[in-house]
Structure 1
Amino acid sequence: MNPPKRLRSEAETPTGGREEEEREEEEEREEERGAVDVSIVMPMYNASCWLDECLQAISLQDFTGTMELSVFDDASTDDSRKVVEGWRERLEARSISLGISGHDSAQPRGVGYAKNKAVSQSCGQHLCFQDADDVMLPQRVRLQYEASLLQPNSLVGCKVRRVPEGSTERYTRWINTITQDQLTIQLYTSHGPTVIMPTWFCSRDWFLKVEPFDEGGKGVPEDLLFFYQSIRQGGGVARVDECLLVYRYHEKATTHSVTEETIWKLRVDFLQERVLGQWESFTIWNAGKQGRKLYRSLSPTNQEKVKAFCDVDENKIQKGFYTYEESKQRPKPKIPVLHYKDASAPFIVCVKLDMTGGVLEENLDSLQLKEGTDYYHFN
């Protein structure tokens, strides 16, 4: 293994000549790019209570290639940066170089900004994204590196163990049980990326081809925006089918700052772009609240493609029609409501997964439908 290279800390760079030194360091990184196999990219904000466990796990990776840890501190007000610096010697003893920088503004600039800065100061051929409050298992870097070599234009994820146990139970089950085919089919569910951001691993070349993370700050789903852009660029989605990350749930997680309506709009727009634009007509499976909301969210062109709603609720079916009261058209659009056995594909299914005791899945199977061709989940 190559000897560790100590990256310059922002605090060590003198004020005078900073721009010149930054240019020189960037040139050095360009020259050495490829000398490091994997950069572990870690944004950080007030994470001191989790860092020892996180960094201990990084130091215990069984990967035999070269690694560095690139940390960007997004204006922490605790001693996070001091804790990371305290691990420098132990990391370098394991041949893991440490680069840490940050800013001391009054307010953090957001996860997207911090991730971009951590990536830009790193030099690995591959990027392993790590949240400061999560814990990677010893084989994570090795197994995802091997998978990424085989799929260089893909975002590679893994299975997770959620702590505390039982938190976000349905979401965690979805993360771990979605099939490899569904990773590229169930792109429109409410859960977000089919491989979650804290598990991402990819080649640097692919990251640079997609685009940087959105730096809009609090409330911006920078992971979903990047994920959708990767799909648009023709990127793949893959998962190592082993649990490689302890994924922590807590109230301070940045995920909680993103509103459901923000995610809804992104999903609707992506669905219209990737699926509905290719269909001449379709049926919305669910004549209830979620199905009607989807209809109202569609563009006028795609609303006209909705030939029916379908459902299993006899009360909804007996009404016969859904009338779009908010429409400015005269007469107002009236969409038929049918029993699902009387409806025809393709369908957009607006029924929550894992909530019907398998009844929804049985109904779909009874019609001999193929997911990704005859129907897509939007739930």
Structure 2
Amino acid sequence: MPAQVSVILPVHDAEPWLDECLRSVLQQDFQGSMELSVFNDASKDKSMTIIEKWKAKLEGSGILVVIGGHNCPSPRGVGYSKNQAIAQSSGSYLCFLDSDDVMMPQRIRLQHEAAVRHPTSIIGCQVRREPPNSTERYTRWINQLAPDQLLTQVFTSHGPTVVMPTWFCSRAWFSHVGPFDEGGRGVPEDLLFFYDHLRRGGGVVRVDQSLLLYRFRPGSATQAILESTIWTHRVCFLEERALRHWASFTIWNAGRQGRRLYRSLSKGARRKVVAFCDVDEKKIKKGFYCYEESQERPKSRVPILHFRAARPPFVICVKLDLTGGALEDNLRSLHLQEGRDFLHFS
């Protein structure tokens, strides 16, 4: 009989963290049937020895363990490993887990309850970061987004509004959207899946409890993805989901990030930019921005205005939580609605 929940665990050289990770699977208080589906992506350390040790403990507690993998010279990547772990599993629901993270005992129970209520959503949760002071702004963003912002802030550089190691969803919905991109190292497979999920009308729900210890490791696969790669995907998604519906818009930030966005837009989207806006008087006094590398003749001269003189909708290219609250106060003073009158991009 298929399990109710399959824990999806890709593994590559995870020896230092696996004991703690697998212990957290054993300690789940979920009362339904569970299985652990492990896919070993060419580990060269003692990961498989640890997994075999825990297999007996887990199966002794009624948690079936399915193990797959390969021993090729090089790993095939996280997307491939997750797809393989899902393919060999049987659960009606999928709980994603990274091999260096630790689940709280109530994670599967609470996310399963939410997934039953929201069958076409990705269910996330709040996290506790390890080390505690790493990526403080990002961690606040993960944990403090309001429910509507889980859909309005999908364009920012932070990526998916519920972080991938917290994902939980039905197998049926995964099959409708997936699989993960298998391009390997350097491919943002979680971001691409998240975008496809949204394209198909999927929802985003967060359980507002800290259900995962989320470890920060500078050498992880996520760190291997080039910022320029993610930028290109984000700009294309912004154009597809928002800008094509707007007759015109203003870029909030006449500095480097705002100009970079302008230059990255397609020709059609660039024509919709009616102004840049800013608070910096030096930038405003310049009067306009001209994209010198543009092939258009005559070259567009885009006005630079004070934000109070500009008109919405805005694409905000100022980073959140970095201006001592000034950006957020300025936005509130205009009485705008996020998602309709402005979108955050940086």
TM-score range, shorter chain: over 0.9
Instruction: Using the aligned pairs only, state the percent identity.
Output: 60
2:304 counterpart of 1:304: no
Given residue 68 of structure 2, which amino acid in structure 1 is its aligned partner? S
2:323 counterpart of 1:356: yes
How many angstroms apart in 1 are the aligned matches of 2:100 and 2:117?
29
Q: Deviations over 1:5-24 (max 9, x none)?
A: xxxxxxxxxxxxxxxxxxxx
2:226 counterpart of 1:259: yes
Q: CA offset at residue 56 of structure 1?
A: 0.6
Deviating runs (4+, > 4 A) in structure 1?
Answer: none
Corresponding residue of 2:24: 57
State the secondary structure of the residue aligned to 1:202. strand
Q: CA offset at residue 211 of structure 1?
A: 1.6
What does residue range 54-93 of structure 1 map to in structure 2 within 5 Å? Answer: 54-93=21-60
Given residue 94 of structure 1, which amino acid in structure 2 is its aligned partner? S
State the secondary structure of the residue aligned to 1:36. coil
2:140 counterpart of 1:173: yes
What does residue range 140-151 of structure 1 map to in structure 2 within 5 Å? Answer: 140-151=107-118
Q: CA offset at residue 55 of structure 1?
A: 0.5
How many angstroms apart in 1 are the aligned matches of 2:141 and 2:218?
21
Q: 1:125 aligns with which of 92, 116, 119?
A: 92
Q: Deviations over 1:143-188 (max 9, x none)?
A: 0000000001000000000001100111111100111110011010
Corresponding residue of 1:116: 83
Given residue 185 of structure 1, which amino acid in structure 2 is its aligned partner? T
Q: 2:9 aligns with which of 42, 51, 57?
A: 42
Corresponding residue of 2:312: 345
How many angstroms apart in 2 are the aligned matches of 1:112 and 1:89?
28
How many angstroms apart in 1 are the aligned matches of 2:219 and 2:257?
29
Q: CA offset at residue 82 of structure 1?
A: 1.3
Corresponding residue of 1:246: 213
How many angstroms apart in 1 are the aligned matches of 2:234 and 2:104?
32
Q: Deviations over 1:211-264 (max 9, x none)?
A: 200000000000000000000011000000000000001122111000100110
Q: CA offset at residue 81 of structure 1?
A: 1.0
What does residue range 255-334 of structure 1 map to in structure 2 within 5 Å? Answer: 255-334=222-301
State the secondary structure of the residue aligned to 1:251. coil
How many angstroms apart in 1 are the aligned matches of 2:63 and 2:302?
61
State the secondary structure of the residue aligned to 1:87. helix
Q: Deviations over 1:170-207 (max 9, x none)?
A: 11111001111100110100000000100000000000
| Structure 1 residues not aligned, in runs of 5+ | 1-31
Give the greater-gyration-radius structure (CA): 1
Q: Deviations over 1:317-349 (max 9, x none)?
A: 001000110111122111000000000010000
What does residue range 85-104 of structure 1 map to in structure 2 within 5 Å? Answer: 85-104=52-71
How many angstroms apart in 2 are the aligned matches of 1:249 and 1:325?
41
Given residue 255 of structure 2, which amino acid in structure 1 is its aligned partner? G
Corresponding residue of 2:200: 233
How many angstroms apart in 2 are the aligned matches of 1:65 and 1:244?
18
How many angstroms apart in 1 are the aligned matches of 2:16 and 2:334?
52
State the secondary structure of the residue aligned to 1:361. helix
How many angstroms apart in 1 are the aligned matches of 2:40 and 2:66?
11
State the secondary structure of the residue aligned to 1:101. strand
What does residue range 183-262 of structure 1 map to in structure 2 within 5 Å? Answer: 183-262=150-229
Given residue 101 of structure 2, which amino acid in structure 1 is its aligned partner? D
| Structure 2 residues not aligned, in runs of 5+ | none
Given residue 155 of structure 2, which amino acid in structure 1 is its aligned partner? Y
Q: Deviations over 1:297-334 (max 9, x none)?
A: 00000100000000000000001000110111122111
Q: CA offset at residue 88 of structure 1?
A: 1.3
State the secondary structure of the residue aligned to 2:92. strand
How many angstroms apart in 1 are the aligned matches of 2:297 and 2:80?
48
How many angstroms apart in 2 are the aligned matches of 1:242 and 1:211?
27
State the secondary structure of the residue aligned to 2:116. helix
Q: How many positions carry a matched residue from both structures?
A: 346
Q: CA offset at residue 47 of structure 1?
A: 0.3
How many angstroms apart in 2 are the aligned matches of 1:211 and 1:70?
18
State the secondary structure of the residue aligned to 2:214. strand
TM-score where L is the length of structure 1: 0.91
State the secondary structure of the residue aligned to 2:323. coil
